[in-house]
Amino acid sequence: MNNIAPFHLAIPVNNLKKCRTFYRDVLGLEEGRSSDDWIDFNFFGHQLVIHFDKNKIISKKSNLVDGKNVPIPHYGLLLKWNEFNSFSQKLMKKNVDFIIEPYIRFKGLIGEQATMFFMDPSGNALEFKSFKDPEQIFKK
C-alpha cells in the first residue's frame, strides 16, 4: 500500500470562500494553485480540487449501515491508525459537526476499522477511516 500513486479528485462546491476556509483551516490541508473558480489542496498527498458550481445541490441520500445513516455519495481517505486518532481529535476540538462520530466497526473481527463522517460547507460528505490491520482492507 505504500507505493500507491496519488489520486486526483475534483468536487463541486457552491461557496468557494467557505469551502476554502473549511479545507484549509479546519481540515488543515495545504492550499496549492487556484483561480477564481477552483482551488487545489494537498489531500494527504493526493490532489483534491474544489470547483465552484453555483447549482451544486446538497444530497440528502443515505444508506443504513450498522444502524447509522451513511451519506451517499461520499469520498475520503484511509489513514494510518494513529493518524486517524489524532485527526479525529483535531476535528472534535474544531467542533466539526459529525454525521457519524468517530467509532470502531468490527471490533476484534476481520476488518476492524475506525470511521467517521462529516460534510463540508457545500454538503459534500467525507468519510475518513482506518484499518487496525491494513492487510485486512479487502478481507472478507
Q: What is the pLDDT of residues 88-107, one digit of tens each?
A: 999 999 999 999 999 999 99
- Please determine, for residue 1, whether its predicted confidence score (pLDDT) is greater than 80: no
Half-sphere exposure of 103 (CA within 13 A, CB side): 11
Query: Residue 11: CB partners within 8 Å, gap ≥ 6?
Result: 48, 49, 50, 51, 75, 124
Average pLDDT over all residues of the chain: 94
Phi/psi of residue 107, nearest 5 degrees? -55, 125
The whole-model pTM stands at 0.91
**139 close to 111: Cβ distance less than 8 angstroms:** yes
At residue 27, the pLDDT reads 97
Q: What tens digit of pLDDT does each residue of 108-121 get?
A: 999 999 999 999 99
At residue 127, the pLDDT reads 98
Average pLDDT over residues 8-21: 97
Q: What tens digit of pLDDT does each residue of 26-69 get?
A: 999 999 999 999 999 999 999 999 999 999 888 889 999 888 99
Report the distance separating Cα 140 and Cα 138, nearest Å: 7
Q: How many residues does the chain have?
A: 140
**54 close to 15: Cβ distance less than 8 angstroms:** no
DSSP 26: I
Fold of 8-53+63-136: 2,3-Dihydroxybiphenyl 1,2-Dioxygenase; domain 1 (3.10.180)
